[in-house]
Amino acid sequence: MIQNILMMWPIADAQIKDLEENYKVFKLWQEADPESALGRIRKDITGIVSIVSDKCIVSGKLIRALPNLEIIAHCGVGYDNIDMKTAKEQGIVVTYTPDVLTDDVADIATGLVLTVLRRMVESDLYVRTGQWAKKGSMPLGRTLAGRIMGIVGMGRIGQAIARRAEVFGMKVIYFGPNKKSEVSYRYYSDLHKMAEECDVLMLACSYSEATHYLIDSKVLKLLGKNGVLINISRGKVVKEQDLIDALEGGVIAGAGLDVFENEPNVPSALCRLDNVVLQSHQGSATVETRTIMSQLVVDNLKLYFEKAEVLTPI
């Protein structure tokens, strides 16, 4: 029996072709009326392909509307767009793509630290607009060596960021729900105390009820006027208006943001600030990594439909 796959948003082209050669694939994003399309095919769908996107919400309502759904193959390491509670209640297998994107996300995180502290985006604009020739040298940046990076979330990505920070001569400390036996960095059980100690506050945690608005005005005030916030986790880990107020008021020195509270809508206030570097959720956005992630989605689906097993279950 041929399996029917609901693809909510595209993955890499080669892997879409692979799926189309083996299954019947319904590309929801191409439908003029997605709701009507779902109504026609909902009883046929046995698998879903999802990605991290505001356009790809696998809600409890959607899961319950697909009576023969067996597996959700997610392309990403964060899966807060999936109603995991309902999936579990319905006995749906959910897979994701861990490990393969660790290095690329850690590279973006490190790049944001370097770009914010050394004012690279500002300098680029300074040259392009002719201000260098008119005004001379722009204001100085800050060195990375000797600074303390406090990492929120010392998982795979957090540890990869820590290794890179050490190469730049930074000291690493971290906060999380539990101390990690496999790392030697100083552990803080109190986020506020760590924020007081660090120069760069790096957010590499997963998003959950516990981390919702974890970073607010109090944390930012403790980070201080020379501190920098870097967020490559999820936008809603930060109370965005508090961050805007802190940046505008000089409460902190700057920020590097790859994620936002209401993607892809970024507040105009952030766009106007010259002490912020903005990225369009580019953490894993390389050809190589997205291809590997997409292939893992395909491999999970094939293994499940052939042997009722998966490679990377959540």
* Rounded alpha-carbon distances, angstroms, from residue 123 to 40, 136, 137, 138, 275: 54, 12, 9, 7, 11
Please state the φ and ψ torsions of residue 172, each to the nearest 5 degrees: -110, 135
Alpha helices in 24-101 (DSSP H): 34-41, 60-65, 84-89
Exposure of 67 by Cβ count < 10 A (0-12 exposed, 13-18 middle, 19+ buried)?
exposed
- Name the catalytic one among 196, 197, 261, 263: 263
C-alpha closest to that of 19 among 305, 313, 314: 305
3-state secondary structure at position 52: coil
- Name the catalytic one among 119, 234, 240, 290: 234
- DSSP H or E segment with residue 17: helix 13-22
* Rounded alpha-carbon distances, angstroms, from residue 31 to 38, 83, 220, 247: 10, 23, 44, 41
Greatest distance between any 2 Cα atoms in the chain: 71
Whether 35 is a known active-site residue: answer: no
- DSSP H or E segment with residue 162: helix 156-167
Whether 263 is a known active-site residue: answer: yes
- Cα 261 to chain centroid distance, Å, stands at 11
- Name the catalytic one among 281, 288, 306, 309: 281
Whether 234 is a known active-site residue: answer: yes
Instruction: Answer for the pair 8, 38: CB distance below 8 angstroms, yes or no.
Output: no
Sign of CA dihedral 235, 238, 242, 246: negative
The packing angle between helices 287-307 and 13-22, to 10°, is 20
87 Cβ partners below 8 Å, 6+ apart?
58, 63, 72, 94
- Residues with catalytic annotation? 234, 263, 281
